[in-house]
């Protein structure tokens, strides 16, 4: 955190970034587990139902959850790229 503060990033921006990363990680951990790596669609659907991640969905809840997973992973990767790029500039 000191490094960010030395680079003149506001506390508000640091906290926003932290909250976004925590939310992304939470989303991933809620949807994914490594034992689903080679699972069939039927098994994935059963797992999502067991976790109640199918409720309130219109359309294909497997597709919706897959999109949520990919978006969360992208947020984490983008944050890492941003930090890497920023660290290389200094």
Secondary structure (H, E, C), 48-88: HHHCCCCCCCCCCHHHHHHHHHHHHHHHHHHHHHHHHHHHH
The token duo for 31 is 């949807």
Tell me which residue of 82, 77, 76, 84 sits closest to 26, measured CA to CA: 76
Between the alpha carbon of residue 8 and those of residues 1, 5, 21, 82, the distances in Å are: 11, 5, 20, 15
Q: What is the pLDDT of residues 32-85, one digit of tens each?
A: 999 999 999 999 999 999 999 999 888 999 999 999 999 999 999 999 998 888
pTM: 0.78
What is residue 88's predicted lDDT score, i.e. its pLDDT? 80
Task: List the Cα angle 52/58/62 in 5-degree steps.
Answer: 55
Q: What is the pLDDT of residue 1?
A: 46
């Amino acid at each position: 955190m000191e490094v960010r503060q030395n680079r003149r990033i506001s506390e508000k921006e640091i906290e926003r970034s932290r909250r976004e990363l925590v939310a992304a990680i939470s989303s991933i951990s809620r949807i994914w587990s490594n034992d689903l790596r080679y699972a069939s669609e039927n098994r994935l659907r059963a797992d999502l139902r067991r976790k109640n991640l199918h409720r309130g969905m219109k359309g294909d809840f497997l597709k919706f959850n897959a999109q949520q997973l990919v978006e969360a992973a992208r947020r984490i990767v983008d944050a890492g790229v941003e930090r890497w790029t920023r660290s290389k500039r200094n």
